[in-house]
Amino acid sequence: MAREKIFVTREHIIPEAIAYLAEHHDVEVWKERSAPPRDLLIKKASECAGMLTEITDVIDKELLDQTSTLRVVANRAVGMDNIDILEATSHGVMVANTPGVLHESCADFTFGLMLSLARNITYGDRQIRAGAWKVFDQIPYLGTDVYEATLGIIGMGLIGTAVARRAKAFNMKIVYYSRTRKPELEESLGLEWRPEMDSIFREADYVSLHMPLTADTEYVVGPRELGLMKPTSFLINTTRGRTVDPKALYEAVSGGGIAGAALDVTDPEPIGIDDPLLTLPNVLISPHIASASSATVRKMGQMAAANILAALEGQTMPSCVNPEAANQR
């Protein structure tokens, strides 16, 4: 098979996957930790047969209109909101993601956020480092139990299901809303389905978001939804920042409408150092690292590389979201 050109938009994240691709094709890599400039991304797309991208690399009509060589884009992520799938399909570009390898890591992290927020673990650490812990006094750090609380999950895909399994060990009552009802999970895990999302916000002590970012879910959590939550409840978001209205979240937390929030994703991202959410002691923010265990990152890179190789060899890809694109060439 002839060697093709492939562009990888980060060097430091998946070196093993890059080395694997380089055994078969000519690979060029953007060496900075930041995303490649837009004009360079477009240029490389017009020169290459394949691209391995991160979620901050936008693959849209403007880019796709300027390339006739591009045949596959492998996104090192499950979410695909950075790629215009319809445009890619019409241009004959196959698009792949990396499902089935990160849900356990994300579920671990979701519970880590929940426990840290509920029990003031991060807040206590901040206070110690600020020199504010002067005497043994637990009252300023009183938290909320997770055990036997009600967990509301919005989006019962692989990650939501993995979170539910962990919640069973905490004897939590689990209610969920999903586009597709999951009777088998209701039976095996004791889940309770709700036919509309409002019920989740009203009932849950912890609301955990696990739906993809789409036109329907952009800012789906706004003032009205947050207003349905109990003042003792918490919001956990590990999906995408633009699923939650940040101004509404600030108002809800600062005004006592909800007890706090834990966010692995923000809007914008990275969050600005002057963002008002950072002034709230009961908001915990991490830098979009829910899937960032060393093993999971390695597996994601391997799957992305395998998708590219399969596409260029005309074989079935491990995870192609638009196989019909092959018919457009």
Residues taking part in catalysis: 240, 269, 288
The 3-state DSSP class for residue 7 equals strand
CA 24 – CA 78 distance, rounded (Å): 25
Query: Which two three-digit tokens encode residue 210?
Result: 């696990």
Q: CB under 8 Å to 221, separation ≥6 — which residues?
A: 209, 235, 237, 243, 244, 245, 248, 249
268 to 122, 247, 287, 299, 308: CA distances (angstroms): 22, 11, 12, 28, 30
CA 112 – CA 115 distance, rounded (Å): 5
CA 9 – CA 157 distance, rounded (Å): 28
Query: Which two three-digit tokens encode residue 275?
Result: 């963002």
